[in-house]
Amino acid sequence: MVDWARRRRWLLGAAGSGLVALGAGGCALKGDANISLVQGKVLFIKHCAACHTLARAGTKAEIGPNLDDAFAESIAAGLGRNEIHGIVESQVLYPASGSVMPKLPLTTRQAADIAEYVQYAAARPGKDGGLLASAGSSGFGPPAVEKNGKLAFAANPTGALAYTVNKATAAAGPVTISMTNKSGVTHNVAIQVGTGPTGTIVGKTPLTSSGTDTIKVVLRPGTYTFFCQAPGHRAAGMFGTLTVK
């Protein structure tokens, strides 16, 4: 017989120890038609993608537990999805003492929406459809192009862990790079020689949650990576390619 009390305690630790950015909320009312899966996915991507893998949300970070793996075994053993909702919301309301998970100023409704989406998406095969398919997507625009020695980047204003572009071009020589952030989530832009996870960083802006910062760099012909240095953001997909000719 499954000891659900013990399993629930285990899941609270496994799934919640790294739910780094969910924040405080309130008790969800199951069946409340105002709970929005779409909003829950947007909020999950905005606040949790830096730390967690959740396949349907398209997040791949490894700082916290993989939520699909954390819940799959227990779902197979008979744990209901309503129980997942309660586990996630418990972690939103009461982060474990000594954990890295902070309380963020989210509303009760936002906390309920996040829990509702994780309940729906965790360890569920397939891909989201309809409105859910595009919720929280980065929506990259045309490549950023250097002009008169200036190159501008911006964080996705919705809070998704992405820039508004994933490609950029520039002429070799001195370039002033600007980084604008209106998302409220801490970001920066760093310019690294090459496209791998390691390499020489030739310039970086400060990590800030709002405003515009600039740096001056000298670029030689070649391929560079621009990425965000906030913990987990690059792993979650906040990077792109800068081609210098």
CATH 2.60.40.420 residue window(s) in the chain: 144-244
pLDDT in tens, 142-169: 999 999 999 999 998 877 888 999 999 9
In one letter, which amino acid is 81?
Answer: R
Summarize the confidence of residues 170-195 as an average pLDDT: 94
Give the CATH fold of the 4-134 domain. Cytochrome Bc1 Complex; Chain D, domain 2 (1.10.760)
Q: Please state whether 201 falls in left (phi above 0), alpha (psi between -120 and 50) or beta.
A: beta
Q: Which of 20, 123, 108 is nearest to 70 (CA)?
A: 123
CA of residue 95 relative to chain centroid, distance: 19
Q: Which of 146, 166, 170 is nearest to 154 (CA)?
A: 166
Q: What is the pLDDT of residue 37?
A: 87
Full-model pTM: 0.63
pLDDT in tens, 117-130: 999 999 999 998 88
Q: What is the pLDDT of residue 138?
A: 67
Q: Which of 184, 64, 74 is nearest to 119 (CA)?
A: 74
Residue 35 — very low, low, confident or very high, per pLDDT cuts 50/70/90? Answer: low
Work out the number of other CB atoms within 10 angstroms of the CB of residue 3.
Answer: 9
Residues 6+ apart with CB under 8 A from 73: none
pLDDT at residue 103 is higher than 60: yes
Where does 144-244 sit in CATH, by number? 2.60.40.420
CA separation for the pair 18, 198 (Å, rounded): 25
CATH 1.10.760.10 residue window(s) in the chain: 4-134
Contact 176, 215 (CB under 8 A): yes
User: Which residues does residue 153 pair with via DSSP β-bridges, in sequence order?
Assistant: 179
Q: What is the mean pLDDT of the chain?
A: 82
Summarize the confidence of residues 170-179 as an average pLDDT: 98
Summarize the confidence of residues 36-44 as an average pLDDT: 86
